[in-house]
Amino acid sequence: MSEITSSIPLQINPDLQEERDKASFNVTELTHIIYGGIEKTKKRKRLEKLLFSDPFFQEYQNVRAFGSRSEYYAASVKKSTKIFKLRRQHKWTDEEYETVLDICHDDLALTLHHTMFIPALERLATEDQKSKWLTLAKQYKIIGTYAQTELGHGTYLQGLETTATYDPQTREFVMNTPTLSAMKWWPGSLGKSSNHALVLATLIISGKKYGMHPFLVQLRSMDDHKVLPGVRVGDIGAKMGGNSVDNGYLILDNVRIPRNNMLMKNAQVSPDGKFVTRGPSKANYATMMLIRVQICTMAYQVVSSGATIGIRYSAVRRQSKLDPQDREPKILEYQTQQYKIFPGLAMSYAFLFASRSLTRKYEEAFAEIQRGDFKSLPELHCLSSGLKSFCSEHSVRQVEIIRQSCGGHGYLNAAGLGMLVNAAAPMITVEGENTVMYLQLARYILKRFAGAMSGQQLDGSTSYLSMDPATYVCPVMSETDCRNLTALCDIYRYRSYMTVCRVARQVQHDMESDMPQHVAINKNLVDLVRAAKAHSYYIVVKDFVEGVDALVASAPVIKVLRTLCCFYAAHGIAEYSGDFLESEAVGLHQLKWIKNLQVSLLGEIRPDAVALVDAFDYHDITLSSALGCYDGNAYERLFKSTENDPMNKEEVHPSYYQYLKPFMEEMNKSKL
Ligand SMILES: CCCCC/C=C\C/C=C\C/C=C\C/C=C\CCCC(=O)SCCNC(=O)CCNC(=O)[C@H](O)C(C)(C)COP(=O)(O)OP(=O)(O)OC[C@H]1O[C@@H](n2cnc3c(N)ncnc32)[C@H](O)[C@@H]1OP(=O)(O)O
Ligand SMILES: Cc1cc2nc3c(=O)[nH]c(=O)nc-3n(C[C@H](O)[C@H](O)[C@H](O)COP(=O)(O)OP(=O)(O)OC[C@H]3O[C@@H](n4cnc5c(N)ncnc54)[C@H](O)[C@@H]3O)c2cc1C
């Protein structure tokens, strides 16, 4: 009788325990730093316990893995409503609620209600409108979404075709979808869940267009959820990931809404049809900016989850031989394995500090904007556009590398990595496609560079563009200098300066050669994106260095974070060495030293790798990975996961009787 069972051992896998025993620092201390203090960590733990003591959250994982699209959506609606009810029952603050959403770590069917609908009402509605709709939305008496993108246009907002035509007779707006390409297409939670939508449409008064504005439109009956007259709405179909969300389409046919359903904080239409604006026209883009900032935090969560799975699994998986006399080593011992996974580990901490710094800047600027002071809006727009693109691009790519590093098992849904990559992939597209957002940053950088050239003193993230490049000497004079974080940061800064300078001069030269501006810009788009990427890389490295420098922590924690920071910076220079050489931020000698350092740091990080991911303190249900579980019993958990596979329900699958049996009978009878 075989001894093989799918029961999970109670003890931690000794291979993982061994890793934890040799950590050079206190993991709990680092966890507190990550979550913003001991109280916050404790609160998160309490919330985790409360949520996951409900068996539903475990069952949900099975539906997610094995259910049909419709079952998965239904379970996710259930999950959303459970969380909403718990929020009310326990009177969670906004911060506690955000923590719960982080713990849940995956798309809720009603996600748009809290990620965009409520924030949009908060930012775009007048106080009167807020007291009506925001209150209803926060009490879940209405469920809404943010319907901006159309089949024909997502990026180019000036191209949106949905119209809101003011009728002064009835004091209503008439909402219309004039063409196929004008139908709303993509908004999350639109297809089946929402009964209201914030529809972004072109305002028309007396035949004149006044740009894009937000209109609150009821889509479904509050009695039976049936679609209202003039509204056509549905789900747009299965996607690569995020299939718990009903991204939808919406067609409006002469749907009339009261005048007061236009959100009028930034622009108003008076009863007799007069249009008045307050603040800059881009104030209506405020919700997008918020989510761009949040995507940086999501990118941190994505890459740190991937790193946790990859590192824990690599510490319990043994394969092949290093020392012919010894047993098979943990795959984490292979330098190549470290080279695949440790960049994701270092990136996690880099993005933690960068997203924290960006969030702080956003909050400061938002407070100013609330007071009617918009001066920091352009800087914030460009910083958030660049970092949103940089963090999403790098995190998704890195998690895919980690998935590959887990060999065959990484390809299983039970590993959690494929689902993570597919769920995270849209971060690259949503809230502004990355290339387009990099170009927004590049446009800003070019203007600032031109300002610096004409003697303006710059401040904010681009202040370095007023540097005198002639004074630059590579600050790495010897191999030991390579560990100097400020020196590494200076190298990034100079690379960015030179990349910006080169493209700015090229654009200027092209324009001086009588090329129309749009032709000159398009001819240099690739280099403009390069400049935006170089700038964003510099900002992330700078935030990491400054974040570690400012940390109040024990010496071992500071030491390990400095090592990671050094590795992150050195790795980037090694990976993009062509750019760094071309810009003469480093010479060949420096590059060689930095590459040596990059590889030798792998060995320094190795003993602390497991502890560094343990510090993220992800709950097993949050990670949802047989390979990345805290106890390291990966094989048992993989085998256990097959029990829930509906394919294994019957000893003989019904398809046998339907197809295989008759086929085999026919084959057996055949004389050929
Ligand atoms: C394990 C953890 C798992 C966690 C979960 C994992 C994964 C989750 C994955 C994904 C889910 C992520 C998030 C979920 C939440 C929401 C879902 C997504 C919702 C959406 O997806 S919702 C639609 C978003 N859809 C866009 O995002 C459209 C992008 N397209 C634009 O945004 C514009 O169209 C633009 C900017 C390209 C051109 O706009 P335009 O044509 O009007 O302007 P123009 O080019 O003329 O520029 C004139 C002047 O405005 C300035 N300017 C522009 N924007 C500004 C702003 N915001 N603030 C201040 N200034 C701004 C410029 O800088 C310039 O300034 P200047 O003139 O001084 O140079
Ligand atoms: C999962 C998911 C959820 C979403 N949720 C919502 C939602 O809730 N609400 C909502 O309103 N929308 C939503 N969207 C839509 C999303 O915001 C858009 O898809 C996004 O803004 C990109 O626009 P697009 O699809 O028009 O891309 P496109 O602009 O068509 O991009 C296609 C290509 O064209 C290039 N391109 C376009 N313009 C330029 C340019 N000016 N310069 C250089 N290159 C350019 C891009 O770089 C890209 O390579 C969602 C999308 C997804 C995938």
Query: Stretch 305-316: mean pLDDT, rounded?
Result: 98
Which three-class secondary structure string do you get for 254-275? CEEEEHHHECCCCEEECCCCCE
188 has binding-site annotation: yes
Residue 200 Cα: closest atom of ligand 2: 11
Is the confidence metric ipTM above 0.90 for this complex? yes
116 Cα to the center of ligand 1, angstroms:
13
666 is catalytic: no
Average pLDDT over residues 34-46: 96
Nearest to 200 by CA among 255, 269, 133, 120: 120
Per-residue confidence at 201, pLDDT binned at 50, 70, 90? very high
163 neighbors 204 (Cβ within 8 angstroms): yes
Local structure of 651: helix, strand or coil: coil
- At the second CATH level, the architecture of 287-613 is Up-down Bundle (1.20)
Structural domain boundaries in the chain: 141-278, 287-613
CA of 295 from ligand 1 middle (Å) equals 12
Judging by DSSP bridges, how do beta strands 172-176 and 231-235 pair with one another?
A: unpaired
3-state secondary structure of 163: strand
**Mind listing the pLDDT tens digit for each residue in 89-125?**
999 999 999 999 999 876 799 999 999 999 999 999 9
Crossing angle of helices 377-405/434-453, nearest 10°?
130
115 lines ligand 1 (CB under 6 A): yes
The model's pLDDT over 400-455, given as tens digits with 9 standing for 90+, comes to 999 999 999 999 999 999 999 999 999 999 999 999 999 999 999 999 999 999 99
Read off the pLDDT band of 267 (50, 70, 90): very high
Q: Does residue 227 surpass a pLDDT of 80?
A: yes
Establish whether 149 is an annotated binding residue.
Answer: yes
**pLDDT tens digits for 284-300?**
898 999 999 999 999 99
Least distant ligand from the CA of 147 = 2
**How are the residues of the chain apportioned to helix, strand and coil, as percentages rounded to the nearest 5?**
60, 10, 30
Beta bridge partners of 201: 213
Would you place residue 70 in the very low, low, confident or very high pLDDT band (cuts 50, 70, 90)? Answer: very high
Cβ atoms of 640 and 65 within 8 Å: the answer is no
pLDDT-based confidence at residue 5 (cuts at 50, 70, 90): confident
C-alpha 392, offset from chain centre: 5
Q: Is the pLDDT of residue 278 over 90?
A: no
The tens digit of pLDDT for each residue in 601-654 reads 999 999 999 999 999 999 999 999 999 999 999 999 999 999 999 999 999 999
- On the question of pLDDT at 6 being above 60, the answer is yes
pLDDT over 90 percentage in the chain? 94
In this structure, what token pair is assigned to residue 551?
């940390």
CB 441 within 8 A of CB 532: yes
Nearest Cα to Cα of residue 283 among 270, 260, 267: 267
Does 149 sit in the ligand 2 pocket, CB within 6 Å?
yes
CATH architecture for segment(s) 141-278 = Beta Barrel (2.40)
How many alpha carbons lie under 13 Å from residue 564 in its C-beta half-sphere? 30
| Centroid of ligand 1 to alpha carbon of 124 (angstroms) | 16
Chain mean pLDDT for the chain:
96
Does 150 contact ligand 1 (Cβ within 6 A)? Answer: no
